[in-house]
Amino acid sequence: MAYRHLLLATDFSQAGTHAATRASDLARRYQAELSIIHVVENLPLLDSSFGPTVPFDAELSDRIVAAARNRLAALADQLGIPEQRRWIELGSATAEIIRVAREQEVDLIVVGSHGRHGLGLLLGSTASAIVHHAGCDVLAVRLPG
Ligand code: AMP
């Protein structure tokens, strides 16, 4: 079976760079489409239970998302991924990656085996959750060494 649509999930960590090279290489071999996603987690959102003393800093949130968009664009440009296949989402990384994969009919999700959360684990927490819950194949690319 040949894969037709790969989704590279990146958190911009070192393992992510390694996974990016692998995803791009596989997409070329399979002559498959390659999409890319980054999920912005932990935005400083208003929690109304704290009351009006905690302001919702919309400007800071916008700046964080814009910075993520720029980093994603730089990586996507390097990999030759067109604008319509670049995804910046907000929320839970696992849930958003799985949702976009399902909606875009992705048949292989490529992640780093470790990222920002997972060092020291056999498989990082995001990588592990995606393997458990995705409706398609998942490739967890190991960091060299
Ligand atoms: P972790 O399990 O969180 O250590 O990360 C493992 C891999 O999951 C990373 O190398 C990325 O491929 C992916 N990943 C983790 N967090 C994100 C995120 N916020 N957006 C997109 N991909 C992510």
Task: Note whether residue 51 is domain-resident.
Answer: no
Element (DSSP H or E) covering residue 72: helix 58-79
Residue whose CA lies nearest to ligand 1 atom number 12: 111
Instruction: Give tens-digit pLDDT for 55-102.
Output: 567 778 888 999 999 999 999 999 999 999 999 999 999 999 999 999
Tally of CB atoms within 10 A around 9: 29
Rounded to the nearest 5°, which phi and psi values hold at 2?
A: -95, 135
Q: What is the pLDDT of residue 88?
A: 97
Task: Note whether residue 50 is domain-resident.
Answer: no
Higher-pLDDT residue of 31, 122: 31
Contact present, 130 and 7 (Cβ < 8 Å): no
Task: Note whether residue 112 is domain-resident.
Answer: yes
Task: Note whether residue 127 is domain-resident.
Answer: yes
Q: Which domain holds residue 37?
A: 5-44+56-142
For the ranges 48-52, 88-92, 106-110, the one whose mean pLDDT is highest: 106-110
Q: How many domains does the chain have?
A: 1
Give the length of the chain. 145
Question: Which is the closest atom of ligand 1 to the Cα of 9?
Answer: 22
Task: Note whether residue 22 is domain-resident.
Answer: yes
Question: What whole-number distance in Å separates Cα of residue 59 and Cα of residue 42?
Answer: 15
Which residues 6+ apart lie within 8 Å of 48 measured at CB? none
- Select from 72, 111, 142 the residue to mutate for testing ligand 1; criterion: most ligand atoms less than 8 Å from CB: 111
Could you tell me which of 58, 82, 59 has the C-alpha nearest to residue 72? Answer: 82
Domain CATH for 90: 3.40.50.620
Q: What is the pLDDT of residue 47?
A: 58
Query: Stretch 39-48: mean pLDDT, rounded?
Result: 73
Q: Does the pLDDT at position 44 exceed 60?
A: yes
Place of tokens 């990146």: 10
11 lines ligand 1 (CB under 6 A): yes
Q: What is the pLDDT of residue 107?
A: 97
Q: What is the pLDDT of residue 13?
A: 84
pTM over 0.85: yes
